[in-house]
Amino acid sequence: MPDVLRSDVLRYLGQAALYAVFALLIGYFSNSPRYRHLAPDEALLRLSFSHPGKVMAACRERGAAELEKMPANMRQSQDCPRERSPVRVSVELDGAPLYDETFAPAGLQHDGAAAGYRRLPIPAGEHRLRVKFNDDARIAGFNYEHSQTVHPVAGDVVLIDFAADRGGILIQ
């Protein structure tokens, strides 16, 4: 074979090989190696809530003298502090404490809802969950409590939520 032709053939083979490497690289790393998100016998416990705690102080009636001193457009008979209570959450799994945390209300004036999110892989199988909430810092201890047995299989999500209008603590 003449040299020129042979070197051309080699060049084309080289190109084909490099294009193949490129395609393999793209094709492979586009979905491999697989990422193990949870161990094979694990379920996932999620705690997620967004709940406005109780307003910390009751409204106060303003006296006439006090109202007199205020600008006319701001004269309201009640003074209502807007600060809300932080929300404390305690979670026990099979009698052992998992979390006991306090979540601050949002907003510069602490007048928003408190929100929390935690994720934790747990072994699949039967568990006893005990969840307690306190949304009023003026009360010691907790003002909501709920216990439930859950049976997540591997890969199931157990979600702890809070909805005051649906009876408080929800486990689903």
Partner 1 sequence: MPASATLSVSGICMAHDTSRSAHRDIPAAQSARNLAANVFHVLERAFDRVFGVAQNPLRQLGALGFYLFWIVSVSGIYVYALFDTSIDGAFRSIETLMIEQPFAGGLMRSLHRYASDAFALVIALHLVRELSYGRFSGFRWFSWVSGVPLIWLGLAAGIGGYWLVWDTLAQVVAIAMSEWLGWLPGFGDVIVRNFLVQATLTDRLFSLLVFLHIGIPLLLLLGMWVHIQRISDPMTLPRRNLGANLLGVLLVLCIGVPALSQAPADLARVPAELPLDWFYLFALPLLYRTSPGELWLLLALATMTLVLLPWMSGGRRPAPAQVDLANCNGCSRCVADCPYGAVVMQPRSDGRNHPREAVVVTDLCASCGICAGACPSSTPFRSASAFVTGIDMPQWNVSMLRDRLDQALTGLQGLSGSVVFACECGADASVLAQPGVAVLRLPCIGMLPPSFVEYALRSGADTVLVGACAEGDCEFKSGEELMRARLKGEREPHLRANVSRERLRIVSSVDPRELERALGELRSVSNGFESAHSSIRSRRGRVPGRSNA
Question: Where in 86-105 is the site for partner 1 (CB under 8 A)?
Answer: 103
Would you state the structure tokens that stand for residue 94, as one six-digit string?
């099979």
Least separation, in Å, of the C-beta of 130 and partner 1? 21
The reply to whether 4 sits near partner 1 by the rule CB under 8 A is no
Work out which of 9, 39, 80, 164 binds partner 1, going by CB under 8 A. Answer: 39
Note whether 170 and 47 are within 8 A (CB).
no
Q: Are 137 and 126 in contact (CB under 8 A)?
A: no
Instruction: Give the separation between CA 141 and CA 90, rounded to whole angstroms.
Output: 10
For partner 1, give the closer residue by CB, 1 or 29: 29
* Residue nearer to partner 1 on the CB measure, 44 or 93: 44
Among 9, 48, 76, 97, binds partner 1 (CB under 8 A): 48
Question: CB under 8 Å to 134, separation ≥6 — which residues?
Answer: 85, 87, 88, 89, 141, 142, 143, 144
| Backbone phi and psi for residue 129, each to the nearest 5 degrees, phi listed first | -105, 135
- Binding site residues, partner 1, CB under 8 A: 11, 14-15, 18-19, 22-23, 25-27, 29-40, 42, 44, 46, 48, 50, 103, 106, 113, 115-117, 119, 154-157, 159, 161, 172
